[in-house]
Homo-oligomer: A and B are copies of this chain.
Amino acid sequence: MSKTNPARGMRDFLPADVRKRNYVINIIKEVYEKYGFEPLETPSVENLETLTGKYGEEGNQLMFKILKRGEKLQEELAEGKIKSENELSDLALRYDLTVPLARVVANYRNELPKFFKRYQIQPVWRADRPAKGRYREFYQCDVDAIGSSSMIVEAELCMAVSEILEKLGFEDFVIRINHRQLLRGMLEASGIEEKSQNDALVSIDKLDKIGKDGVIKEFEERGITQETGNKLLNLFDKIREIDNAKRWDEKDFPSQTKNAAITNKLRDFVNSNEYGNLGIEDLVKFQLNIEEQSIENFIQIDPSLARGLSYYTGAIFEVVLTKGDFSGSIAGGGRYDGLIGMFGKEQIPAVGFSIGLERILFVMEERGMFPDDLTTNSADVMITIWNEESAGESLKLAGELRAGGLRVLVYPEADKLGKQFKYADSLNIPFVCVLGETELAENKVALKNLKSGEQETLERNEIAGKIK
């Protein structure tokens, strides 16, 4: 590893990369703003105690912690007084955008509107083992709606995320939806006791990766019988059967019918379990809110969706692509009605979605989904330098053309004209201006089209128009 590389798991973004990232970020911002979400930014560094204990054991381990500062630390170290990591650190890098939001809502409750809708597009840091597509610094694009428990909010969030994905050019996405209360109901109806439910969720979350046998095996290790496990997994099978027809071009089995059929099957399964029925009630309301809208075709009720994070309390979402070989979600979210209460006196309901910018960029790159003009040169014209004495004239002309709305590069030094032309060509700049002795004497400019080779002498005020 050269000493000029970025740190392990971190990336430099050269201009073409930044342009692609900004293209996606701007579409995300634009859609969120149209939905009335407002921008929020929080510091990269949080007090360690703000983050600790919010993400489970894995989160605590993957957090980048910041060393305390000052002479006292040095002294204590020298004296061998410090025996544990916890005494060394007081701050940590942000691990997600949800916990900082919860802190902000608790802190500024009186300054924020009752129903606070915010988006936040910032990096987060996790000391994960770097792998293809997995970085230690990566962006999250979060959107959250604070203050309401109504399923209207879930519907609107899904609409916004789906509009973003469509604007970016995705056609093959599915928004999987499930509900933590419904999950609890399903677990209880299967006979899994409360004390084993969290473990069970962790295993179910891995169903795609470890398969049914893997889940059954993990269940048994955790004291859940094979019979109980099979009962639950058979339910998932049955529902997958209902869903296994391709979602697209499916005229005789439209999604709303499909989702209604799934809901009925789930209702039968949880029977009279109160949590299960609470979850189903929410899912029915959700379906009603999106009825006959284009989003409806992207929604798939998936009772096996579990989501890793422990703070979810209601609906949970995950967005996946159905074509190509990219597995894993490109966005996810859910309702977390308890998190803000951990910071303030008040329990405030909240639900949010996080779009994984890096994964979206990865797939868009693979699929060639970026517009062409993102990767072309960044200047409309280059102005050459005739000699050192007349450089000021070149700079003056540059100022005039910029005032006329052009993006103008000035070659930075006096050099052979041929070399300057070549440089412009190497950057794909279409036009070059020359201010030679004749041109300067006549107060004119020679304009060369590098594509056609054509050259003409023009008045200074004609140049901008000609290039446009």
Contact = CB atoms under 8 A, between A and B. Distances in A.
Interface of A: 2-7, 10-15, 17-19, 21-22, 33-36, 38-47, 49-50, 61, 64-67, 69, 73-74, 77-78, 80, 82-85, 88-89, 91, 93, 103-104, 106-108, 111-115, 117-118, 123, 125, 127, 136-137, 145, 147-150, 152-153, 155-156, 159, 163, 285, 288-294, 343-344, 378-379, 382, 385, 388-389, 391-392, 394-396, 398-399, 402, 406-414, 423, 426-427
A113 to B, nearest CB: 6
Contacts of A108: 12, 14
Given A83-B78, A288-B389, A408-B36, A43 B413 contact: no
A392 B36 contact: no
Given A3-B49, A137-B44, A388-B285, A89 B77 contact: no
A432 to B, nearest CB: 13
A153 B410 CA distance: 9
Contact of A50 (B3, B65, B73, B389): B3
- What does DSSP make chain A's interface, helix, strand, loop or mixed? mixed
What 8 A-B pairs come out closest when comparing CB atoms?
A10-B43, A36-B409, A15-B38, A4-B107, A150-B413, A148-B412, A18-B39, A80-B80
A284 to B, nearest CB: 11
Given A18-B39, A150-B412, A426-B113, A136 B104 contact: no
Given A46-B7, A391-B289, A85 B67 contact: yes
A2 B337 CA distance: 22
Contacts of A14: 40, 104, 108, 111-112
